[in-house]
């Protein structure tokens, strides 16, 4: 199935007028709000990412907005990858712009279903030697 194209990002000056970003904690805050965890904005998605609504432009992933605000470069159709695999960690040192193939190589490893000699199956994580 083809990947959905990313929307055009809102103007950078609008984002800087609306939000403050703390690159050390990864928090995105409404302009003028105290930068603490309780004031972080965004709603959680099923995938563990946060998204935020920008009036007149729609919803955007927080990690794409903070990358754009920090580097002043629109990520365009490139992926913004969470290097440590934690989609909630939006610290700038944990974000990188990459192509889909590099992003896919950094996916979390899933476990696999193993059936032993007696026919008993179970989910195991990591590398499994049979």
Over residues 68-125, the pLDDT tens digits come to 999 999 998 899 999 888 888 999 999 999 988 887 777 765 566 677 777 776 666 5
Domain ranges of the chain: 12-124
Q: 12-124, which class in CATH?
A: alpha beta
**What is the mean pLDDT of the segment spanning 18-23?**
92
Model-level pTM? 0.76
Q: Is the pLDDT of residue 129 over 60?
A: no
Residue with tokens 């159709």: 77
Q: According to the model, what pLDDT value does residue 128 have? A: 45
């Amino acid at each position: 199935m083809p990947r959905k194209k990313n929307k055009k990002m809102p103007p950078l000056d609008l984002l800087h007028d609306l939000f403050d970003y703390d690159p050390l904690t990864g928090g995105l805050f409404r302009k003028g709000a105290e930068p603490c965890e309780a004031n972080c904005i965004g709603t959680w998605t099923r995938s563990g990412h946060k998204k935020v609504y920008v009036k007149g432009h729609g919803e955007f992933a927080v990690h794409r907005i903070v990358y754009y605000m920090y580097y002043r470069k629109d990520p365009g159709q490139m992926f913004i990858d969470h290097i440590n695999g934690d989609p909630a960690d939006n610290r700038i040192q944990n974000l990188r712009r990459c192509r889909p193939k590099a992003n896919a190589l950094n996916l979390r490893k899933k476990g696999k279903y193993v059936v032993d000699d007696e026919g008993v199956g179970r989910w195991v994580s990591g590398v499994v030697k049979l």
